[in-house]
A and B are shown apart, each in its own frame.
Chain A
Amino acid sequence: MTYTAQETVRVGLEQGLHMVPCSLIVRTAERFSCEIQIQKEDRSADAKAILDLLTLSAENGNELVLEARGAEADEAVKALARLFESNFDDPAAGSQPVTGSDR
């Protein structure tokens, strides 16, 4: 049986899980070779697939379950949990939603 790591997190962003945080999740998840899923209620999304994450439509206050399966599962889950805890405060990418139409 493959090793599974799990952790529950909460979305602390007013706009919910919009494009940029999803983008950060993917970037982080891609560093690990294990399979990573993020669950909201009964729906599950592949943490390495941005479109999946977007359609999860996670809003402010939602509880999500992070689950990683395989090599480095613990590290993967920890890294992602940290993103949520810091409310995706990554100075390099910014955590404010920028609408595509502002081009």
Chain B
Amino acid sequence: MQVKRGIAVSPGVVTGEVVVLGTEDFRIPQRFVSIDAVETELGRFRSTLEAVWEEIEENERLAREQLGDQFGAIFGAHLQMARDPKLIAEIEGLISEKSLSPEYASSRVLRRFARDLQNLGNQYHAERAVDIFDLEKRILRHLLGERREELLNLRAPVIVLAHNLTPSETANLDREFVMGFATEVGGHTSHTAILAGALEIPAVVGLGHFLSDVSGGEMVIIDGNHGEVILEPDDETLAKYRDLEERVHSVTERLASLKTLPAETLDGESITLLGNIEFPEEAEVCRERGAQGIGLYRTEFLYLEQNRIPSEEDHFEAYRKVIAADPDRQVTIRTLDIGADKMPETMGDLAPDVVNPQLGLRSVRLSLHNIPLFKKQLRAILRAAVHGDVRVMFPLVSNLLELRQARMILGDVMDDLEEQQVPFRRDVQVGIMIEVPAAVMLAEEFAREVDFFSIGTNDLIQYTLAVDRTDPSVADLYRSGDPSILRLIRKVVSAAAKHDVAVTVCGQMSSDPVFISLLVGMGIRQFSSTPHAIPEIKEVIRNLTIEHAEQIAAHALTLDLARDVENYLRGELHRICPDLML
């Protein structure tokens, strides 16, 4: 049993069998074979070995011919690895004595050898581990043969482990079968993390290297509450977690009963709770959790899910779906918020060498740089507005010129639509994300020109504290409770109040019950959170009075360390809602 620590990005606890995603999706179909099948499986393993030897010999011959003896020698060594008598004996031993499938046995033994090499502590041997993984892939490829195609389709609930899950990969996971996941890289506001929250499954990221210790088919526990992944848990641990899973389930059920109750403080102040979504399908989930609308529809997944730029109709269809889930509620659509480097093929040339994607050509800058692309999205938004209370929001606005240009283009689009006699709405509300410190400093100027603000705490914290939110090595510098952040939020709220502009907090901070009393106390009356957090936030609000919230905020603002702020808020939350601290 091994316990690995990472960053918890989506809560919950789940136990299950592993699928390791590599550059090829090798799904080890089963760990065990029946006793009567052992002889056949041994035979299958031996013929696989022979095929592998032939293959490597051929590679060696070609390499010597075309590249020279030195390179041929590599394959020669690979061949010897594949013929290593101890390796073979160990694998065959597991098959015949423990009834393990050849796939599982090979993977386990090879990964152990790889780990032994890596543990020798020198670079050279660690790199040889790569050769062993190569051999593992070869052997598995032969063992799995034609069955590979079906394996890309999961047929049973599993837990997915990977080095990294790109947003596209995550978007393409079969949600019916993925119970949870863990990755070696990633930070807690990376897109992968956001998706885990959206999928509402436990997830841990930023674990560092651990995949070489795992084989497909193994049992694993993902503890999304504490950020732990437990490999091959012993019986005692397994029982403990199954028990925890049950308890969490019952708290979740209780919170679900809050759905019909209003998000009102003890002294009757109404707070609006909205949901954040990435996919249209999640709008339904938001409604079920009691959201009063969508406060943030992150539209970039339209660009990431496919290999081509989405058309106006693609946009329109997605927006209509979202509106249809709850037609009487608001839907705030945020325009494209990624960089050219993440866009499908065709846009790659716009950003050839992106050194600093977080500070580069992305979001509203990208849109302003590619007006036809921008107009496509805006047209779809304005057309969809006919069907519901749709609002437009521009991300990463850092100066007034950008805002004015964006509004001008919006105006042009409206004129186009009118000329073409396409139904749309002119009176849509227009707002911006406040996530760049510059926007905070000019909040009053911005407040004069928009209908609403949405404070994007994820990026605001990143840009203010100068911390890469996806880099695990600086993860502990990224603090929502940093005193600087509190002061920035206070500034935004005060500027907005002067011009009657509504302020929402979206971003991780608004999904964390710990910060709710603070934000309410600072004057925030709208939150847009991940759907699964909505019941918890409602619970906090229903146990608050505005006076208490304001006292908490006032005290928090006197503290000068993020750590002190967070400890204080945790203490207050425990007093207000002892149940929530699981």
A49 CA / B503 CA spacing, docked (Å): 68
Nearest 6 Cβ contacts at the A-B interface: A50-B80, A23-B77, A94-B70, A49-B86, A19-B77, A49-B84
A window 7-38: CB within 8 A of B: 15-16, 18-20, 22-23, 26-27
B74 touches A100 (CB 8 A): yes
Could you say which residues of chain A place their CB within 8 Å of the CB of B559? none
Contact B124 A55 (CB under 8 A): no
Compute how far the CA of A16 lies from the CA of B120 in the bound complex, rounded to whole angstroms: 13
Q: Could you tell me the distance in whole angstroms from the C-beta of A33 to the nearest C-beta in chain B? A: 13
Residues 84-117 of B, flagged 1 when their CB comes within 8 A of A and 0 if not, give: 1111000000000000000000000000010011
Q: B81 and A50: CB pair below 8 A?
A: yes
On chain A, the residues within 8 Å of B87 by CB distance are: 49, 51
Interface size band for A? 20 to 34
Is A60 in the interface zone, CB < 8 Å from B? no
Interface contact B120-A46, CB-CB below 8 Å: no
For the A-B complex with A93-B76, A100-B127 known, give 5 more contacts whose Cβ atoms are closer than 8 Å. A15-B124, A23-B73, A27-B80, A50-B77, A52-B86
Residue A54 lies at the interface, judged by CB distance under 8 Å to chain B: yes
Number of B residues whose C-beta is below 8 Å from A? 26
* A40 smallest CB distance to B (angstroms): 12
Interface residue B128 (Cβ < 8 Å from any Cβ of A): yes
B298: A residues at CB distance < 8 A: none
**Contacting residue for B128 out of A15, A19, A26, A27, CB 8 A:** A19
Contacts A48-B85, A93-B76; A18 near B70 (Cβ below 8 A):
no
B554-580 with Cβ < 8 A to chain A = none
Q: What is the interface of chain B mostly: helix, strand, loop, or mixed?
A: helix
Least Cβ–Cβ distance between B472 and chain A, in angstroms: 24
CA distance A101 to B126 in the complex (A): 12
The minimal Cβ–Cβ distance linking A81 to chain B, given in whole angstroms, is 20
A96 to B71, CA, bound (A): 11
Residues of B within 8 A of A101 (CB): 127, 130
**Is A86 part of the binding interface, using a Cβ–Cβ cutoff of 8 Å?**
no
Task: State in angstroms the CA–CA spacing of A93 and B72 once bound together.
Answer: 8
Let me know if B122 and A51 touch, CB within 8 A. Answer: no
Q: Are A51 and B70 in contact (CB under 8 A)?
A: no
The answer to the question of B125 belonging to the interface, with a C-beta cut-off of 8 Å to chain A, is: yes
- CB-based nearest B residue for A100: B131
| Residues of A contacting B127 in the complex (Cβ-Cβ under 8 angstroms) | 99-101
Chain A residues with CB under 8 A of B86 = 46, 49, 51-52
Distance in angstroms between the alpha carbons of A52 and B71 in the assembled complex: 22
The distance in angstroms between the C-alpha atoms of A22 and B76, with both chains bound, is: 11
Binding site for A on B (CB under 8 A): 69-71, 73-74, 76-77, 80-81, 84-87, 113, 116-117, 120, 122, 124-125, 127-128, 130-132, 134
Q: Are B130 and A98 in contact (CB under 8 A)?
A: no
Q: Name A's B-contacting residues (CB within 8 A).
A: 15-16, 18-20, 22-23, 26-27, 46, 48-52, 54-55, 57, 92-94, 96-103
B68 to A: closest C-beta gap in Å: 8
Give the residue of B71, B80, B120 whose beta carbon is less than 8 angstroms from that of A26: B80
C-alpha gap A20/B81 in the complex (Å): 12
Return 22 A-B CB contacts under 8 Å, by A number. Answer: A20-B77, A22-B77, A23-B73, A23-B76, A49-B85, A50-B84, A51-B84, A51-B86, A51-B132, A55-B120, A55-B125, A57-B122, A93-B69, A94-B69, A94-B70, A98-B70, A98-B73, A99-B127, A100-B130, A100-B134, A102-B71, A103-B71
Which residue of chain B is the closest to A94 with respect to CB atoms?
B70
A52 touches B77 (CB 8 A): no
Q: Which residues of A contact B80 (CB under 8 A)?
A: 22-23, 26-27, 50
Q: A18-B124, A23-B80 are in contact. Are A46 and B85 (CB under 8 A)?
A: yes
Q: Is the CB of B122 within 8 A of A20?
A: no
CB neighbours (8 Å) of B124 from chain A are 15-16, 18, 97
Contacts of A16 in B (CB 8 A): 124
- Chain A residues positioned under 8 Å from B117 (CB to CB): 54-55
Chain B residues, CB < 8 A from A52? 84, 86
Bound: A87/B130 CA distance, A: 26
Best-surrounded residue of A27, A51, A98, A99 (most CB of chain B within 10 A): A51
User: Which residues from A are CB-within-8-Å of B125?
Assistant: 54-55, 57
Q: In the bound complex, do residue A100 and residue B85 qualify as a contact, i.e. CB atoms below 8 Å apart?
A: no
Cross-chain contact B113 with A51 (CB below 8 angstroms): yes
B84 / chain A contacts, CB cutoff of 8 Å:
49-52
Shortest CB distance B129–A (Å) = 10
Q: Would you give the shortest CB distance from B486 to chain A, in whole angstroms?
A: 48
Complex CA gap A19/B81 in Å reads 10
Given the complex, which residues of A lie within 8 Å of B70, measured CB to CB?
A: 94, 96, 98
Give the docked Cα–Cα distance between A46 and B120 (Å).
18
With a cutoff of 8 Å between Cβ atoms, the chain B residues found around residue A102 in the complex are 71
Distance in angstroms from A39 CB to nearest chain B CB is 16
Cα(A20)–Cα(B78), bound, Å: 10
A97 neighbours in B (Cβ, 8 Å)? 124
Distance between Cα atoms of A19 and B78 in the complex (Å): 9
Kindly state the separation between the CA atoms of A98 and B130 in the bound complex, as whole angstroms.
13
Min CB distance, A25 to chain B, in Å?
10
Q: How far is A18 from B128 in the complex, measured between Cα atoms in Å?
A: 9
Given contacts A18-B124, A57-B120, contact A51 B73 (CB under 8 A): no
| Bound form: Cα–Cα A29–B85 in Å | 13
A99–B132 Cα distance when bound, in Å, is 13
Shortest Cβ distance from residue B57 to the other chain A in the assembled complex, whole angstroms: 14
